[in-house]
Structure formats: structure tokens, C-alpha cells
């Protein structure tokens, strides 16, 4: 059953108008009361179906749009069980029951046989005659855009047969298959006594009279609404609940507002170019035409070509949307999504219009995959044209490699030189140790020497003008943040409750707070808010890892009465109150009543020695979250999964973007289709690839495939299960550790399902073996631009001849690998024409200063920027020293290469 809250609009009007109930033939109809009333007042309707955004339990979303005061409004949203005539008839009967005064005069549908038949039988009556026509765009698309055949749609219906015969003689033999297809489907095959009845009657696709009457020729506006709705849903085949929620938002935010405007007399004026097109087209049809006789064939061809030219012009503008025809407002909106380096490279000096536009938009500096040649050109341009500095609105650094690139940028352009800079973001937040350096550390390493430092003075950060900032903790920045701070978006790596007072006083306008670690302080903390009530104006709070007590969390959250969105993640927290549903309910009702988005994830490893509570205790606590407060009042659904050594409890959909399946599991839910829609990075063991898996991951972009047991193989059967479990279409990165025994044909089958795959992490020794497979060889050499071998012990110059490797993979843009001989660094650089970044790991008992001396000298000659760091493994792992008997140095080398060929 559909929950009651989903049956009404956001304005509390009835939205679910009909539901036949669960079953294979379920029919559901959504519409507001205002939409039903407008349907009764509409004489011209457009009907179209779509499949991608339809919940899996239905076949299609079938929408009815009405033409009202020169605007087109979505009015009926029907979920159909199939595409059979009986389902269309049921839909029409229910619509007639809901709208007894509905008497349309014309109806445009797509060229679907059963839909057309159903509308003819159910709507056409003695008292109400409806003109049913097909969509001209669908017709044009179905005949491959051959314009002279499309021109037949503008002939009088009584002249189409003769026009087709003349056109048949006119066209060259190459068009014979197309003409045969068109004759069978749309005209009717010629017979001795006339023509056979075509599958699609001439009256359905002919738009001669409709053009003269200024009626709709296409249902493109209906298809446009489908595309808009797809962007709201964001992924294919959502659950029924997500579908309804998205539909409600669309009805409230767009449709209702448009209807109110139309009723107030604010109609949408058609653009002049389309009015001119319609006028020219009508003049062509109304102008005197000669008869369609053989001796007037040239004149007929002229008319066809004139109409064809106009149609082709319309198609270019309306369907392909030539870039030059886009208005400035649309271009500016598009430009905001582009990196400043790419924006100026692509559009600067193309023409005066674009040249002016890109100098009047906000610019975002993002160093992800930035080519150095492109980077150098932009920096040189900004040195000449200092006004560009005024456009810099945002600077983002996503990882430690980008810190190196950012250092080069900030050495010439410190952030306080950008008067309009509002966002300065590290992801994840970097750790600050002193005033002059901000350091990013990998969470799994203690050797900070491996990391690239972001060198920046805090005094260079324009804190008084920033609206978004990321930092390690609040303390180092407080001395520079004053009461006039306008920061609204803050990311903090480490946060303690004792920092709350400081945060309240110094960042009063804060709306968004993202905390990576909210840690416990093992001392008694008094109620620091006792004299200062409700000073936080937070709207959204995200905590990635909570290790404090729930009592301290309650103390903090009580000061955020305006909170609307809360994400709370805790792993192995020994405070059982973290999963106490009653305390959560009381906290929400009493302290954050405006909360409408709640994401919770708690997980426990059974082997954690400090966890004092039994397995059953945790399960019992989890089950308390199934009460009406959670399910009925707020529609926050929960489930838990038990694996061999792990219990995870979370809201649906699962909030984290990473997920890992290692062990056998059972879950508390039977429907996991859309549970993991947020997961982008997924780790999976072969042993978990089973036939009846309830998991489904629709949006994974990074996949790691490995195995629990050494003798487990990737088989054809397991690949089939993988395809049922994951939507491989979105996959961009594949990591396959410990797979030397995998069948190359199985790997090729995965590659065939991943058209967007461009990055792979693989053992170089195994890569050498699987390249013997022709299909894999062709795929890897063509598609893969990013190879990562650095996590494997094998050195690339041991597995391959370096020059041979570069010859096999000439399209590599980003390479990470281990090498034995440092001389091979420049062999790689010189033989990979598109290489942009190179990351090298080198291990040796010799001092790095000596080992890389030659490299440094050559890099200096070539003016190649690099970052080099090293550490002595025996100093951090003493057993290495006792085992080896000598020092062992690990060196990391990062090189950023400028090459014009990467811009092609």
C-alpha cells in the first residue's frame, strides 16, 4: 500500500486519484484536483510515455499534457503495468470517470499501435469526435531524418499517395530500402486494386491541416517534461516511494506555479523565430500549387525541398541546439560548471561575444586532472589581465597531488589577491601544524614525509570575505576570524564539544557544518551552553565519525533548533545510547523539530574488545526504530545487515558513498533495489557473487574485485551475477588485486559492459599475461587513460620493456608505478606523448639524494616541476632493520608534465 503521506501534494491536496491495488496489472494515477479541472477545460492534449524513470514494478510512466492559454501543462501521471491495449483502455476509462466533463477535440500520441487504437475506441464517440494524430518528431526520427519523405507530411492527405509515387521515381536507387519501409508502414503497399492498409494511417501522421490550424505538430514539450523529471529523480528505475516524492516535488515546484501564472494571465509568448518559421511554412502550403502530374514534377520537387529546408533548419535549432544560438543567460549558467582553466582554453578569443561572457562570470579553480600546458596559459593570461583575478570565486583541492599543483598556483597568486574569493576548500580537510603550512595526511600512514604539503600562510587567507572554508580544527583560525565573519559553510577535520563555544562566538552565520571526526574528550565537560541558548543557526549538520558520548551530542544539538538535515555516522562507539530510538525520538521532538532529513549509520565489529553489549542487545535496539514515529510520521526507514563479524544499521537510502561486502550476510529488508543509490565506491569479494543476491548498486563508479580465499576464481557465472548486482555502465575505475589466476575472457566480458571505464589498478605482471587476449589488448589500449600499478610490489620496468610498454599504451595520461632504475623516469616521459601526471614509488638501500641526483639535474634543464619525498622504513618499522641489516629508503616522486598533445 502507498503510505498516506505520499497520496497528497505538498499543499495537502489529494494527489493519488486511483490505485487498482497490488498485483501484476496494477494501474496508478496521480494528479492534483487543479490538474483534473484543467484537463476538463482542455481541448488539445499531448500524450507520451517514458521508461527510464519508471519504478521496476511498472512498465512505463504515461503522461497526459494539456494545451491551455498557449502553454503546455503536465496534467496526468499514470503508471501502467504494460504496453497492451487493455491497459490503455483502463487508463482512459478511469480518466473519464475522474473527469466526466472531459471532451478533448484533438489528441497527439506517439506512434504506438495499441495506444492509438485504445484512444480511437474509448474517446471517439457519436457526441464527441476527436482528431487523433501522431507526433511529427517521432515520424521524422523513425525515418532517419530523410527530409524529402518528411515533407510528405505537409501534403494534403488526399495527395500523399500520388506525391509518394512521384518521389519514388525521383530518388536514386540507394533510397530503395527506406522507401520500401515507408510504404509498408505509412503509405500502404501498392496492389492491383489500390493500396493495402498501412500500419499507421495517413490521417495519423499527416499534419497539413494541423499546420494551417496552428495546432501542435510534435509532442516535444511532453518529452521535455520527461527529461526534466529525469533530472529530478537522478537515476533510472527508482523505487515507487522515491518516484512519488520526486513527482510531488515537481508538481509543487514547477507545475503548480506555472498553472497559477497562466490563470493570472501570464502566458508564455512563443519566440519570434518559431513564429516566423510557422508563418513561412503556412505560406508555402497556402500558396498556389500546380497539380501533381508528371509534367510538373520539378515544381513538386521544389516544394518538397523548400519544406525540407525549413524543417531541417528547425531541427538544428530546436533539437541539436547549436551553441551559438543559446542565449547569454544559458551560456553563463553552463560556464559556472566549468573549471576556469578549461573555460578560458575553450572559449577565449573565439569571438567577441564569448570573449566578453567568460570575463563576466564567476570562476572556479579546481586542480583535478588539469593539464600543465593549459595551466601555464591561464596563469600567463591572468598576469597580463589582472581583472581575471576579480572573477575567482572558488578554489578547491581534492587530494594531496593537487596540493602540489595548487602550490604552484598560489606562489604566483596568493588567495588574498582575489577580492571576490568566497570558497577555499580542501577535500578532505587538511591538517594545520603551524602558520605557514597546511598538511594533508593519509589516514593509513604515519609517515608524513610521503605527503605533499599545501604551503600557505594563514594571513594570506581572506577569512573576512570567505563564505566556505575547510580546515583541520577551529582553533588555529579563530585568532583571524572576527565577529564580522560571513562563513556559512565550514568543514572541520577534528572537532570536540569544548570547541562549540568558540565556534558559536566567531562564526555566527554558520548554516552548514561538516565534521570529519567528532572526538571524545575524556574529562568532565560542564554544560557550556547554560547561559547562551540557541546561538547556532545551523540548517545542515554532517558528522562522518562520532566517537563522543550521546549525552554530549544531545548537549550540542539542543543549540541547533533550526536544523533541517542531520547526517550521523558512528563506528564501534561503545555508548549503547547511540542506538537508543527513544532518546533519538525525544531529542528530535524537543530540540530539532524542524528536522526533515535524517541519515543515520551505526556499525559494530563483533571482535571489538571494548564493546560490552551482546549481539542480541544491539538487534533489539535496532528494532525500536520501526515505530510509527519513524515509519509513518517521518517516513524514515531503517534496516540492518548482519555479516560474519559486523552489524550495520542505517537509514534508507544508505548515506555513505563507499560500501564493502566481504562476509556472508543476512538483512532485515527484502527490497534493496534503491538502498545503495548513493554508493560510488564499492569493494566486493568473488565469494559474495551469488545468484539470488538482494543487493543492487546502480551508481558505482569505482569497483574493487578481490577474493577471500586464494583458490577462488572469477568465473563466467560470477560475472553474470556481477552484472545483476551492479550497473556497470557508470563504472570509471576498476581495481583487481590478487587476480593472477582469473580467466582473461571473464575480464573481457566485464570490459564490454563498461563503456566509461578509463582507469584501472592492476598487477603489472598479470597485465603482461592478459595482453595476449586480443579483445583485452584492443580495449585497454583504446580506453584506459589512467594506470595504477603503485599498490603492487612488481616494478613496471621488471614486467615490461619500458619503451614497449609506452608503445602499447600511447594514450596514457596518468600513470602510477614502481620502478627499479631511476633512468627510466625520463624514458616514460619521452615515450608517452599524452602523459600529464606521473607518480613513482622507488625503494632502495641507497640514499635518495644520491639515487635521484641525475633526475633532478635533468628535470631542472627541462623545467619540469616535481615533488619528491622519502623516509627510512627501518626507522618506523624496527623489524625491517633487524631483518635487513641496513637502511631501506622509500621515495615518492610526483611529476606534472605539460604536453600539448593532451589537449587534442
Q: What is the total count of domains within the chain?
A: 6
- pLDDT band of 664, cuts 50, 70, 90: low
- CA-based nearest residue to 452, from 438, 464, 463, 432: 438
How far apart are alpha carbons 1 and 416 in whole angstroms? 58
- CA-based nearest residue to 396, from 492, 468, 451: 468
Residue 677 belongs to some domain of the structure: yes
Tell me which DSSP letter residue 565 carries: E
Picking from 740, 765, 784, the residue at the C-terminal end of a domain is: 784
The three cell numbers locating residue 473:
580544527
Same domain for 38 and 183, yes or no, is no
Residue 305 belongs to some domain of the structure: yes
Same domain for 113 and 250, yes or no, is yes
Tell me which DSSP letter residue 612 carries: -
Angle 297-315/160-170 helices, nearest 10 degrees?
Answer: 90
How far apart are alpha carbons 223 and 47 in whole angstroms? 9
Question: Is it the case that residue 674 has pLDDT exceeding 80?
Answer: no
Tallying the residues shown for the chain, one arrives at 904
Using an 8 Å Cβ cutoff, are 466 and 424 in contact?
A: yes
Residue 617 belongs to some domain of the structure: yes
Q: What is the pLDDT of residue 370?
A: 85
Q: Which residues on adjacent β-strands are paired with residue 50?
A: 61
- pLDDT band of 400, cuts 50, 70, 90: low
Query: What are the E-state strand segments in 630-713?
Result: 637-643, 646-652, 658-661, 665-667, 681-685, 702-706
How far apart are alpha carbons 845 and 891 in whole angstroms? 11
Residue 671 belongs to some domain of the structure: yes
Q: What is the pLDDT of residue 707?
A: 78
3-state SS assignment for residue 335: helix
Characterize the bridge pairing of strands 837-844 and 733-735: unpaired
Question: Is it the case that residue 226 has pLDDT exceeding 50?
Answer: yes
Same domain for 565 and 664, yes or no, is no
Residue with cell 466526466: 100
Per-residue pLDDT tens for 485-514? 788 889 888 888 888 877 877 788 889 999
Domain of residue 395, residue span: 328-462
Question: Is it the case that residue 371 has pLDDT exceeding 80?
Answer: yes
Residue range 203-226: mean pLDDT, rounded = 61
Cis preceding linkage at 428, omega within 30: yes
Per-residue pLDDT tens for 798-822? 767 888 889 999 999 999 999 988 8
Q: Is 727 exposed, middle or buried (0-12, 13-18, 19+ CB in 10 A)?
A: middle
Distances (CA, A) of 786 to 776, 804, 872: 16, 17, 29
Distances (CA, A) of 690 to 611, 680, 687, 720, 724: 32, 21, 7, 9, 10
Q: Which residue has the higher pLDDT, 240 or 160?
A: 240
Biggest alpha carbon distance in the chain?
103
Question: Is it the case that residue 630 has pLDDT exceeding 90?
Answer: yes
Same domain for 749 and 716, yes or no, is yes
Question: Is it the case that residue 256 has pLDDT exceeding 90?
Answer: no
Q: Which residues of 370-391 are buried (b: 16+ CB within 10 A; e: fewer)?
A: bbbbbbebbeeebeeeeebbeb
Q: What is the pLDDT of residue 306?
A: 39
Window from 56-60, 578-582, 736-740, 791-795 with minimum mean pLDDT: 736-740
Same domain for 374 and 348, yes or no, is yes
Per-residue pLDDT tens for 524-579? 655 555 555 556 789 999 999 999 999 999 989 988 999 999 999 998 888 889 99
Question: Is it the case that residue 336 has pLDDT exceeding 70?
Answer: yes
Q: What is the pLDDT of residue 225?
A: 73
Q: Which residue has the higher pLDDT, 176 or 35?
A: 35
Q: Which residues on adjacent β-strands are paired with residue 659?
A: 682
Per-residue pLDDT tens for 71-118? 788 889 999 988 888 888 889 889 888 988 888 877 777 656 667 777
Q: Which residue has the higher pLDDT, 567 or 136?
A: 567
- CA-based nearest residue to 650, from 712, 711, 571: 571
CA torsion, ordered 200, 202, 204, 206, to nearest 10 deg? 140
Residue 493 belongs to some domain of the structure: no
Per-residue pLDDT tens for 412-464? 888 888 999 988 876 644 333 333 333 333 322 233 344 565 666 666 777 77
Residue range 280-298: mean pLDDT, rounded = 47
Here the CATH number for the domain that contains residue 706 is 3.80.10
Using an 8 Å Cβ cutoff, are 546 and 578 in contact?
A: yes
Per-residue pLDDT tens for 760-782? 998 888 888 888 888 888 888 88
CA angle 528, 529, 531 (to 5 degrees): 110
Q: What is the pLDDT of residue 291?
A: 39
Tell me which DSSP letter residue 197 carries: P
How far apart are alpha carbons 75 and 38 in whole angstroms? 8
Same domain for 777 and 716, yes or no, is yes
Using an 8 Å Cβ cutoff, are 126 and 286 in contact?
A: no
Task: Give the contacts of 884 (CB within 8 A, at least 6 positions apart).
Answer: 845, 874
The three cell numbers locating residue 805:
610498454
- pLDDT band of 662, cuts 50, 70, 90: low
Tell me which DSSP letter residue 198 carries: P
The three cell numbers locating residue 792:
603492487
Q: What is the pLDDT of residue 629?
A: 93
Q: Which residues on adjacent β-strands are paired with residue 734?
A: 703, 760
Q: Which residues on adjacent β-strands are paired with residue 293?
A: none
Angle 853-862/824-831 helices, nearest 10 degrees?
Answer: 30
Question: Is it the case that residue 128 has pLDDT exceeding 60?
Answer: no
What is the phi/psi pair of residue 682, to 5°? -130, 130
Q: What is the pLDDT of residue 147?
A: 38
Tell me which DSSP letter residue 253 carries: I
Same domain for 228 and 107, yes or no, is yes
* Mean of all residue pLDDT scores within the chain: 76
User: What percent of the chain lies above the pLDDT cut of 70?
Assistant: 69
How far apart are alpha carbons 310 and 612 in whole angstroms? 77
Q: What is the pLDDT of residue 266?
A: 65
- Beginning with the edge strand found earlier in the chain, give each strand of the sheet holding 363-366 in spatial order: 363-366, 392-397, 423-426, 468-471, 489-495, 512-518, 540-543, 565-571, 597-605, 646-652, 637-643, 665-667
Q: Which residue has the higher pLDDT, 352 or 691?
A: 352
Using an 8 Å Cβ cutoff, are 636 and 630 in contact?
A: yes
Same domain for 80 and 227, yes or no, is yes
Task: Give the contacts of 36 (CB within 8 A, at least 6 positions apart).
Answer: 17, 75, 98, 99
- pLDDT band of 220, cuts 50, 70, 90: low
Picking from 743, 764, 784, the residue at the C-terminal end of a domain is: 784
Picking from 738, 762, 784, the residue at the C-terminal end of a domain is: 784
User: What percent of the chain lies above the pLDDT cut of 90?
Assistant: 20
Using an 8 Å Cβ cutoff, are 374 and 342 in contact?
A: yes
Residue 492 belongs to some domain of the structure: no
- CA-based nearest residue to 759, from 662, 676, 660, 837: 837
Q: What is the pLDDT of residue 522?
A: 64
Residue 487 belongs to some domain of the structure: no
Q: What is the pLDDT of residue 274?
A: 53
Same domain for 646 and 763, yes or no, is no
Residue range 520-524: mean pLDDT, rounded = 67
Same domain for 454 and 584, yes or no, is no
The three cell numbers locating residue 331:
551560456
Question: Is it the case that residue 717 has pLDDT exceeding 90?
Answer: no
How far apart are alpha carbons 824 and 765 in whole angstroms? 18
Same domain for 315 and 335, yes or no, is no
How far apart are alpha carbons 594 and 609 in whole angstroms? 38
Same domain for 184 and 274, yes or no, is yes
- Beginning with the edge strand found earlier in the chain, give each strand of the sheet holding 431-432 in spatial order: 431-432, 437-439, 453-455
Residue range 748-762: mean pLDDT, rounded = 90
Q: Could you tell me the sign of the dihedral formed by the alpha carbons of 699, 703, 706, 712, in that order?
A: positive
Residue 476 belongs to some domain of the structure: no
Amino acid at each position: 500500500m502507498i503510505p498516506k503521506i505520499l497520496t497528497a501534494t505538498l499543499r495537502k491536496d489529494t494527489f493519488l486519484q486511483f490505485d487498482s491495488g497490488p498485483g501484476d496489472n496494477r494501474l496508478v494515477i496521480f494528479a492534483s484536483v487543479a490538474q483534473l479541472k484543467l484537463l476538463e477545460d482542455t481541448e488539445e492534449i499531448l500524450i507520451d510515455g517514458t521508461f527510464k524513470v519508471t519504478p521496476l514494478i511498472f512498465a512505463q510512466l504515461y503522461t497526459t499534457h494539456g494545451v491551455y492559454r498557449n502553454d503546455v501543462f503536465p496534467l496526468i501521471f499514470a503508471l501502467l503495468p504494460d504496453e497492451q491495449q487493455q491497459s490503455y483502455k483502463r487508463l482512459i476509462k478511469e480518466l473519464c470517470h475522474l473527469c466526466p466533463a472531459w471532451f478533448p477535440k484533438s489528441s497527439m500520441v506517439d506512434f504506438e499501435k495499441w495506444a492509438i487504437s485504445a484512444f480511437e475506441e474509448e474517446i471517439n464517440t457519436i457526441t464527441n469526435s476527436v482528431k487523433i494524430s501522431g507526433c511529427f518528431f517521432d515520424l521524422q526520427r523513425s525515418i532517419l531524418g530523410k527530409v524529402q519523405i518528411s515533407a510528405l507530411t505537409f501534403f494534403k492527405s488526399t495527395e500523399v499517395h500520388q506525391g509518394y509515387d512521384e518521389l519514388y521515381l525521383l530518388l536514386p536507387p540507394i533510397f530503395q530500402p527506406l522507401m520500401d519501409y515507408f510504404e509498408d508502414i505509412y503509405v500502404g503497399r501498392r496492389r492491383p486494386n489500390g493500396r493495402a492498409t498501412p500500419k499507421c494511417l495517413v490521417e495519423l501522421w499527416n499534419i497539413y491541416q494541423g499546420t494551417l490550424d496552428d495546432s501542435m505538430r510534435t509532442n516535444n514539450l511532453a518529452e521535455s517534461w520527461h527529461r526534466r523529471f529525469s533530472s529530478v529523480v537522478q537515476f533510472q528505475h527508482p523505487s515507487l516511494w522515491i518516484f512519488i516524492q520526486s513527482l510531488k516535488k515537481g508538481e509543487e515546484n514547477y507545475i503548480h506555479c506555472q498553472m497559477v501564472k497562466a490563470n493570472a494571465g501570464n502566458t508564455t509568448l512563443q519566440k519570434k523565430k518559431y513564429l516566423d518559421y510557422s508563418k513561412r511554412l503556412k505560406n508555402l502550403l497556402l500558396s498556389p500549387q500546380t497539380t501533381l502530374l508528371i509534367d510538373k514534377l520539378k515544381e513538386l520537387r521544389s516544394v518538397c525541398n523548400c519544406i525540407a529546408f525549413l524543417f531541417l533548419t528547425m531541427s538544428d535549432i530546436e533539437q541539436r541546439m547549436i551553441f551559438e544560438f543559446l542565449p547569454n543567460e544559458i551560456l553563463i549558467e553552463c560556464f559556472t560548471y566549468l573549471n576556469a582553466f578549461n573555460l578560458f582554453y575553450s572559449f577565449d578569443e573565439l569571438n567577441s561575444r564569448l570573449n566578453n561572457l567568460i570575463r563576466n562570470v564567476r570562476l572556479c579553480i579546481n586542480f583535478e586532472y588539469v593539464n600543465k600546458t593549459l595551466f601555464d596559459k591561464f596563469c600567463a593570461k591572468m598576469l597580463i589581465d589582472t581583472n581575471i583575478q576579480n572573477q575567482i570565486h572558488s578554489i578547491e583541492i581534492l587530494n594531496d597531488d593537487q596540493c602540489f599543483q595548487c602550490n604552484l598556483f598560489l606562489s604566483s597568486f596568493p588567495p588574498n589577491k582575489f577580492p571576490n574569493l568566497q570558497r577555499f576548500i580542501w577535500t578532505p580537510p587538511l591538517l594545520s601544524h603551524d602558520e605557514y603550512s597546511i598538511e594533508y595526511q593519509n589516514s593509513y600512514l604515519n609517515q608524513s614525509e610521503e605527503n605533499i604539503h599545501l604551503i600557505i600562510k594563514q594571513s594570506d587567507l581572506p577569512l573576512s570575505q570567505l563564505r566556505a572554508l575547510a580546515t583541520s580544527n577551529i582553533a588555529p583560525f579563530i585568532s583571524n576570524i572576527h565577529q564580522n565573519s560571513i562563513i556559512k559553510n565550514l568543514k572541520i577535520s577534528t572537532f570536540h564539544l569544548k570547541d562549540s563555544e568558540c565556534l558559536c562566538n566567531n562564526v555566527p552565520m554558520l548554516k552548514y557544518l561538516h565534521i570529519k571526526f567528532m572526538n571524545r574528550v575524556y574529562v568532565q565537560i560542564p554544560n557550556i551552553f547554560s547561559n547562551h541558548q540557541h546561538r547556532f543557526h545551523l540548517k545542515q549538520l554532517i558528522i562522518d565519525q562520532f566517537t563522543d558520548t550521546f549525552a554530549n551530542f544531545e548537549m550540542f544539538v539542543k543549540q541547533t533548533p533550526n536544523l533541517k538535515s542531520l547526517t550521523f555516522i558512528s563506528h564501534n562507539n561503545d555508548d549503547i545510547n547511540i542506538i537508543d530510538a527513544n532518546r533519538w525520538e525525544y531529542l528530535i521532538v524537543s530540540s530539532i523539530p524542524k528536522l526533515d532529513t535524517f541519515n543515520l549509520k551505526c556499525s559494530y565489529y563483533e571482535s571489538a574488545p571494548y564493546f560490552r553489549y551482546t549481539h542480541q542487545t544491539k538487534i533489539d535496539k535496532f528494532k525500536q526504530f520501526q515505530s510509527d514515529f519513524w515509519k509513518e510520521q517521518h517516513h524514515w526507514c531503517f534496516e540492518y545487515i548482519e555479516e560474519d563479524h559486523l552489524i550495520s544499521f542505517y537509514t534508507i537510502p544508505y548515506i555513505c558513498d563507499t560500501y564493502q561486502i566481504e562476509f556472508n550476510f543476512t538483512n532485515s529488508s527484502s527490497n534493496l533495489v534503491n538502498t545503495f543509490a548513493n554508493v560510488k565506491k564499492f569493494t566486493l569479494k568473488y565469494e559474495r557473487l551469488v545468484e539470488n543476491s538482494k543487493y543492487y548498486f546502480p551508481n558505482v563508479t569505482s569497483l574493487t574485485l578481490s577474493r577471500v580465499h586464494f583458490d577462488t576464481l572469477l568465473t563466467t557465472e560470477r560475472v553474470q551475477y556481477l552484472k545483476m548486482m551492479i550497473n556497470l555502465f557508470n563504472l570509471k575505475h576498476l581495481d583487481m588485486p590478487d587476480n593472477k589466476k582469473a580467466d582473461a575472457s571473464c575480464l573481457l566480458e566485464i570490459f564490454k559492459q563498461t563503456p566509461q571505464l578509463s582507469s584501472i589498478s592492476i598487477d603489472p605482471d598479470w597485465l603482461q599475461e592478459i595482453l595476449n587476449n586480443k579483445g583485452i589488448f584492443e580495449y585497454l589500449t583504446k580506453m584506459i587513460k589512467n594506470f595504477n600499478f603503485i599498490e603492487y610490489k612488481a616494478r613496471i620496468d621488471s614486467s615490461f620493456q619500458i619503451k614497449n610498454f609506452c608503445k602499447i599504451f600511447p594514450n596514457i595520461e596518468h600513470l602510477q608505478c614502481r620502478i627499479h632504475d631511476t633512468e627510466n623516469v625520463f624514458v616514460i616521459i619521452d615515450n608517452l606523448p599524452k602523459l600529464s601526471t606521473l607518480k613513482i614509488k622507488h625503494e632502495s638501500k641507497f640514499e635518495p639524494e644520491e639515487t635521484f641526483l641525475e633526475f633532478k639535474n635533468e628535470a631542472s634543464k627541462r623545467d619540469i616541476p616535481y615533488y619528491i619525498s622519502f623516509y627510512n622504513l627501518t626507522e618506523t618499522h624496527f623489524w625491517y632493520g633487524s631483518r635487513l641489516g641496513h637502511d631501506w629508503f622509500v621515495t615518492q616522486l610526483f611529476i606534472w608534465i605539460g604536453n600539448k598533445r593532451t589537449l587534442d
